[in-house]
Structure 1
Amino acid sequence: MGDVPLLEVDLGPGVRAGFTTRAGGVSPAPWASLDLGLGVGDDPARVRANRAAVSAILGAPVSFMTQVHGREVIVVEGAPDAATPPHDSVGEADALVTADGHALAVLVADCVPVLLADPERGVVGCVHAGRHGVELDVVGATVDALVGLGGRREALRAVVGPSVCGACYEVPEQMRADVAARVPATWARTRAGTPALDLPAGVTAQLAAAGVGGVEVLGLCTLEDERFFSHRRDGQRTPTGRFAGVVVHRREAETGGPTAPSEAG
């Protein structure tokens, strides 16, 4: 297997975070090649090999979830065990948080992936925010869960990752009206002037409303940028894979520095 490209982002000292691209895996077309999704028709053995490659570059087994377009948040607890193969899924949810040094992943192929961390407290999280998740404010639920683990809203840092942009996400006019009634920042038009939703803008507004201290928006559109899987671009014709946002807080043994304080016990 070739090197796994990771578009790295800065969530503070001691935190490794980023977004995988399509390249560097073992899956053939149409999933070529770093497909991380177990529910898109790819051979599970290949997907698990791809996931193992991502775990290797993070230096920790990565926890994945079964995403259901809701607002459930799972707390991943206990000491990470590199000798134990990771489960295919830690459960049904659309966000994961931890204060125990686990590597976490969110799978996407147009929905909005969000990575969060309070680097001083050693808490990290990841969010899958599709249209339903934005309507349900899964981002706000995740911020609340991170605060419950000892994170501080003003110290939290977030990155809004690659997703379909407002200029490309065409929807029926009534759908735009319904979503924008709940999250006004999502109201958008395509370049052709047709109704659209800007989910990254909605997520960014929800992060601000939740009190997150620092927010970076990558502004990369999955439909336009072929480095990433896109269901709207490719999945209408053939199966398409899933890329991931991944985040881990490195512990003292890995970083050589002091362990960040945590109120998670």
Structure 2
Amino acid sequence: MSDTRTLAGVHPVDLGDGVHAFFTAGTGGVSPAPWSPSDGGGLNLGLNVSDDAARVAVNRSLVAERLGAPVAFATQVHGDVVLELGPAERVAWAAHRPPASAGEGDALVTAERGLGLGVLVADCVPVLLADPEARVVAVAHAGRKGVLTGVVHRALDALVARGADPARVRAAVGPAVCGRCYEVPGAMRDEVAAVVPETRATTSEGTPGLDLPAGVVAQLAVRGVAATRVERCTLEDASLFSHRRASGVGTTTGRQAGIIALI
């Protein structure tokens, strides 16, 4: 179910009745270069990339307006900790000056109506999860380390603990760097593929690579969850933020997000 509000570059996904979910792009905000992928204002949602905090606050408010609810973000550390948010967090994030972070973790879960959850990325995989019948939603940040540690499994465990049925859970795997572009040392590819074989890839240059979105889809499938995959590569798509692209030219970049809420 999608909202009628507008925001440049938003990619809505249908995760069932009573759920709003979408992925943001890099445009439509107030941040200048290098936190903007174009000449227009950038919608950088990350606070740890040297952008001005006041601009990030404006960008986050634009996303909250698009969602129709305040949006909570965590301090992501490439781990597998799941943070549960509820009524107190909805009040805190709806305040005039919301918290900078809901805490340290790489997944968020809530059964609280009217509280958005956000997952920040700039090449890693944003994952949105919902059981519309049990009325519970979650997000997960799945980079290479997160895929290895099973952060998506931990997020699903948190949903199930709150009444979700994997057979009903709907998932969306958002824009991330693809296997054609994510070059890694051969030993690193072998390490990840030994745990999640579906991640094994070869880049367009014929070098070892990792397809993390494919790995996340496979991890969801093991649990009986069918996922919609947004086939957009952050490195190839200039409208999206990419840490690897920015690093290649010696600069920083912003963070886009996956967003979900019960309505």
TM-score normalised by L of structure 2: 0.91
Give the number of equivalent residue pairs: 248
SS, match of residue 238 in structure 2: coil
Aligned twin of 2:164: 151
SS, match of residue 25 in structure 1: strand
1:86 aligns with 2:90: no
User: Do the aligned partners of 2:7 and 2:66 also contact (CA within 8 Å) in 1?
Assistant: no
Q: Which amino acid aligns with 1:25?
A: G
1:12 aligns with 2:21: no
List alignment gaps of at least 5 residues for structure 1: 251-265
Write the deviation string for residues 118-138 of structure 1: whole angstroms up to 9, x where unpaired: 112211111100000000010
SS, match of residue 237 in structure 2: coil
Shift of 1:86: 2.5
1:235 aligns with 2:243: no
Shift of 1:210: 1.9
Shift of 1:5: 3.5
> What is the percent sequence identity of the aligned residues?
57
1:193 aligns with 2:197: no
Alpha-carbon distance in 2 for matches of 1:187, 1:72? 25
SS, match of residue 206 in structure 1: helix
Write the deviation string for residues 81-117 of structure 1: whole angstroms up to 9, x where unpaired: 3345421100000000100122000000000000010
Cα RMSD (Å): 1.3
Shift of 1:77: 1.4
| Aligned pair partner of 1:72 in 81, 102, 108 | 81
List alignment gaps of at least 5 residues for structure 2: 1-5, 37-41
TM-score normalised by L of structure 1: 0.91
Aligned twin of 2:143: 130
User: Do the aligned partners of 2:82 and 2:158 also contact (CA within 8 Å) in 1?
Assistant: yes
Moved over 2 A (4+): 2-5, 79-86
Aligned twin of 2:43: 34
| Aligned pair partner of 1:226 in 238, 241, 244 | 238
User: Do the aligned partners of 1:4 and 1:54 also contact (CA within 8 Å) in 2?
Assistant: no
Aligned twin of 2:63: 54
Aligned twin of 2:188: 175
SS, match of residue 153 in structure 1: coil
1:217 aligns with 2:226: no
